[in-house]
A and B are shown apart, each in its own frame.
Chain A
C-alpha cells in the first residue's frame, strides 16, 4: 500500500478496471429518478440509466455525497494503512461535492487523518485522467507534494471539447453558464462545448450540424495540441458509441496515442449533459512522466 491514497468521486467516470488497478477510492454521488435514489455507478450503471432516462416522468436530479459519507471513506482508507489522502473532485462550480469533502476533511482531522482536498475544476474523464495520473505517481512512491504538483500541472493541460444533442439538460440543471442564450433557438445549433479555467461549462462556438461541429473540434484540438505529439486520449459517450467511434478515428490518427480510455458518461454527469453526448479529451504526455 502506497503512502498516499487517492480519492475522487463518481463524476470522474473512471472505469472500474482502472480504479481497481491503481487503488483509487471513489465516493459516489446520487441520482434520483421518479422518487427512487441510486448510487452513481454503484447501484445504477450508465447503460441502464440511459434506458430509464426517456421513460422518466421528470428529469432526474442529483445530489452530492454527504460529509459523513466522505468521512467513512477516509476512515476506512486510514484503517487500511493510508498515511495521507489526496481527494480530487468535480469542479466546485458544478457541484457541492467538494464542499462535502472539505467538511469531512475537518471532521477527520481531529482523528489524526490528513486529507488534502483538490478542486479539479473539471468533470468526467478529464477529472478521471487527472486522478489516474495522481494514483500512478502515488504508486511510484511520490510524495503528497509531488502528487499535488503533478495534478496542478495536469489541470492546466486539459483539452476537452464535447457535443451535446440538446442544451436542454445543461440548461435545466443550471450548468450551462453563458451558453444559455442558445436555448430556445429555432435553428438546430450544435455548440462546441468545453469547460473553462474557472471550471464552468461554456459554448466555444455555435455551429450548425453535428458534422460541422466535429470538424471544428478537430481544428480546435490541433490548435491546442500539436498534431503528432504524444498524448493520452479520453473518449466519452452517452449512449452514442457509433458516433463517438466514427469521429474519434480522425483524432486518433492525428496523434501519437500512448493511452486511450473510452467509456460512457455516468448517470450523474449524464443527468446534466443529457443523452447522446460525445466528448473528446486530449492530454499531452508530460515530459517528466514515466510511462
Chain B
C-alpha cells in the first residue's frame, strides 16, 4: 500500500535521499560543464547547497510537521547556496518549502503545487532566466506535475511523472542552448536536478539504499549549543553558576527506580535552575541545566535511574578566563563604525594581499577554487564594523550568491558585479572613503569596465567551445570570460592572449602569476613581454592563486 501522505519523517527522508543521490553523481554533473576550466563546478556547488539545506533539517529531525522541516530546509539552503547553479537550486527548493510551510503533511496535489511554486520563485530570483538550463527542466517537470496531479493520490506516482518530464526536458536542453549542442552535452544543472528527483522518488517508493547510516545531528546537542550562545553575560549577573549535563539510564535494574514521565520530570527540574533542556527516549534521558547546586539536581535525577556522562562546569570561572570576556574589557568600548567596509572574494594569498593593501577589510578565499556560500559572505559582512558594505565577487559564478546576501543581512550592502580579479582591483581604485554611497557605486561601476581581463588556465576535460576543439590538458587563454586562445604551450598561450587583448596599445599590463608557475617561466614571460610590448609599463605580482597560471590586467 503506497503512502498517500508525506509526513515529516518521509519528507526528511526524501530530501536526504535526493541529496545522497546527487552527491553520488556529483562527478558526472561536473563532467557536463561545457566550459572546461577547473573551477566553479556545477555538481559540487549543487551538492554543497543541497546538503546545507538537509543538514539544517536534520537539526530539527524531531519535528512533527512537514512545515517545520521545510522552514529549516529553506534557511539552510539560503545560507549554504554556492555558485549560480547552487543559488538557483536553493531558490527552487525555497519556493517549494514556502508552499508547504504551514502543512503538517502533504498529499500529491500539494506536492505538485510545491514544485510549481519553486519554479515561480526561481524565475523571479534570476534577472535574466536562460532557457535550456536547470530552470527549464524544473519548469517543464513542475508543469507536468500540475497537469496530472489528479492522476493519482499516491505522491510516488506524481513524483515519477515529474521525474520523467524532467528527463525529457533535459534531453531537449541542447536544442534550446546552442553552447550545449556545440559541446554535445545536456545541461549540467538540469542533470543535477534529475539526480535529486530520483533520490526523492526512491524515498517515496521506499527503495533507498543508504550509503551510510543516515547521520542526523542529535537535537539535544543543537539545543544545548543554542542555550550556551544565549547565556554569555556579565559574571556578576550569573545566578546559576554551574552548567550541568548528564544522562539518566532509565533501564537501571540494580535498584528500584521511580516510573519516569518526561513531562513531569521537566517540571520537577525547573526548580533547580534555568536553561533547562530534557530530551528523553525509552532508555535514556539527556539533561542540560544551569544550576547553583548541581548536587541537588543530580540527586533528584538519581530517582529515575543511574547517571552517566556527567559534566559540570563552573561558568563564572569560564567566563573570566575567556579572552573576550577579560575584566579589562568588561565594559567594551563600542567599536567605531566606519562609513564603508569592503569585502572581496579572491583565491591565492598574494592576490588577497593586494586586495587588503587597497583597503579591503575581509578577503574571502575562493572564487576560482571553491565558490563561497551565502553564509561565508554574510559572516564576512557581519565581521566588519561599517555602516555600508561594498562586495566585489570577482567571479561571475559568485554574483548571484552576493545578490542573495543582500536579502539576508541587515546592513546596507552594494554589490559591484566584478567578474574577474583585474575588474575587482580596478573598481577598488575608484573607491573613495570620503565619497557618498552613490558616488562610489557609480565610480566603481564605471571604472571596473575600463580594464581588460585575461586569464590562463588548462582544460580539465575535452570540450568544444566557440569553435575550439579542446583537449584535456590544453592551455586556455580566456578574455573577459571567453576562450580565445587554445594552445599546447603555456608561454605561447600567454603572449597570444596578450596580443588578443591589444596589449601593444596599452599603458600598463599587470601580470599576477599563480602558484603553479615556476620562477623560470615567469622570467621567460618577462623577456617575451619586454620584447613584444617594449613601450608598455609592466607590473608583476606573485598572486599564489591555484589553477590559473596567469591573470592579466590590460589598461
CB distance from A140 to the nearest CB of B (A): 43
Digitize A224-240: 1 where CB-to-B-CB distance is under 8 Å, 0 elsewhere: 00000000000000000
- A187–B358 touching, CB < 8 Å: yes
Complex-state Cα separation, A189 to B510, whole angstroms: 12
Contact pick for A187, options B354, B433, B434, B507, CB 8 Å:
B354
- A208–B434 touching, CB < 8 Å: no
Counting chain B CB atoms within 10 Å of each CB, the highest count among A184, A189, A209 belongs to A209
With a cutoff of 8 Å between Cβ atoms, the chain A residues found around residue B510 in the complex are 187, 208
Q: Please tell me the number of chain B residues within 8 Å of chain A, measured between CB atoms.
A: 18
- A208–B555 touching, CB < 8 Å: yes
- A185–B508 touching, CB < 8 Å: no
With A185-B357, A187-B510 as contacts: A210 and B537 at CB distance below 8 Å = yes
Complex-state Cα separation, A206 to B539, whole angstroms: 16
Q: Indicate whether A215 reaches chain B with its CB closer than 8 angstroms.
A: yes
With a cutoff of 8 Å between Cβ atoms, the chain A residues found around residue B553 in the complex are 208
- A185–B507 touching, CB < 8 Å: no
Complex-state Cα separation, A185 to B357, whole angstroms: 5
- A211–B354 touching, CB < 8 Å: no
Q: Indicate whether A291 reaches chain B with its CB closer than 8 angstroms.
A: no
Q: Indicate whether A172 reaches chain B with its CB closer than 8 angstroms.
A: no
With a cutoff of 8 Å between Cβ atoms, the chain B residues found around residue A212 in the complex are 507-508, 555
- B357–A178 touching, CB < 8 Å: no
With A181-B433, A206-B429 as contacts: A186 and B357 at CB distance below 8 Å = yes
With a cutoff of 8 Å between Cβ atoms, the chain A residues found around residue B235 in the complex are none
Contact pick for B354, options A186, A206, A209, A215, CB 8 Å:
A186
Q: Indicate whether A53 reaches chain B with its CB closer than 8 angstroms.
A: no
With a cutoff of 8 Å between Cβ atoms, the chain A residues found around residue B434 in the complex are 178
Digitize B426-462: 1 where CB-to-A-CB distance is under 8 Å, 0 elsewhere: 0001100110000000000000000000000000000
CB distance from A131 to the nearest CB of B (A): 32
Digitize B394-415: 1 where CB-to-A-CB distance is under 8 Å, 0 elsewhere: 0000000000000000000000
Digitize B343-381: 1 where CB-to-A-CB distance is under 8 Å, 0 elsewhere: 000000000011001110000000000000000000000
Q: Which A residues between 200 and 231 are near B, CB-CB below 8 angstroms? A: 206-212, 215
Tally of A-B residue pairs with Cβ under 8 A? Answer: 45
With a cutoff of 8 Å between Cβ atoms, the chain A residues found around residue B433 in the complex are 178, 181
Q: Indicate whether B541 reaches chain A with its CB closer than 8 angstroms.
A: yes
Complex-state Cα separation, A148 to B454, whole angstroms: 57
- A206–B430 touching, CB < 8 Å: yes
Q: Indicate whether A250 reaches chain B with its CB closer than 8 angstroms.
A: no
Contact pick for A211, options B353, B357, B425, B507, CB 8 Å:
B507
With A186-B541, A188-B539, A215-B507 as contacts: A209 and B555 at CB distance below 8 Å = yes
- B429–A209 touching, CB < 8 Å: no
- B353–A186 touching, CB < 8 Å: yes
Q: Please tell me the number of chain A residues within 8 Å of chain B, measured between CB atoms.
A: 16
With a cutoff of 8 Å between Cβ atoms, the chain B residues found around residue A211 in the complex are 507-508, 537
Complex-state Cα separation, A259 to B348, whole angstroms: 53
Q: Which B residues between 266 and 305 are near A, CB-CB below 8 angstroms? A: none
With A178-B434, A207-B429, A211-B537 as contacts: A184 and B357 at CB distance below 8 Å = yes
- A208–B429 touching, CB < 8 Å: yes
Digitize B507-537: 1 where CB-to-A-CB distance is under 8 Å, 0 elsewhere: 1101000000000000000000000000001
With a cutoff of 8 Å between Cβ atoms, the chain B residues found around residue A206 in the complex are 429-430
Contact pick for B358, options A185, A210, A215, CB 8 Å:
A185
With a cutoff of 8 Å between Cβ atoms, the chain A residues found around residue B357 in the complex are 184-187
With a cutoff of 8 Å between Cβ atoms, the chain A residues found around residue B429 in the complex are 187, 189, 206-208
With a cutoff of 8 Å between Cβ atoms, the chain A residues found around residue B353 in the complex are 186
Residue of B nearest to A214 (CB): B507
CB distance from A270 to the nearest CB of B (A): 24
CB distance from B437 to the nearest CB of A (A): 17
CB distance from A264 to the nearest CB of B (A): 25
CB distance from B535 to the nearest CB of A (A): 9
Complex-state Cα separation, A255 to B371, whole angstroms: 53
- B507–A209 touching, CB < 8 Å: yes
- B359–A209 touching, CB < 8 Å: no
Residue of B nearest to A207 (CB): B429
- A181–B555 touching, CB < 8 Å: no
- A209–B537 touching, CB < 8 Å: yes
- A187–B425 touching, CB < 8 Å: yes
**4 further A-B pairs in the complex, CB-CB below 8 A; given A209-B508, A211-B507, A212-B555:** A184-B357, A186-B541, A187-B425, A187-B510
Residue ranges of B at the interface with A (Cβ–Cβ < 8 Å): 353-354, 357-359, 425, 429-430, 433-434, 507-508, 510, 537, 539, 541, 553, 555
Residue ranges of A at the interface with B (Cβ–Cβ < 8 Å): 178, 181, 184-189, 206-212, 215
User: Can you list 6 contacts pairing A with B, beta carbon distance less than 8 Å?
Assistant: A178-B433, A186-B357, A207-B429, A208-B508, A208-B555, A209-B555
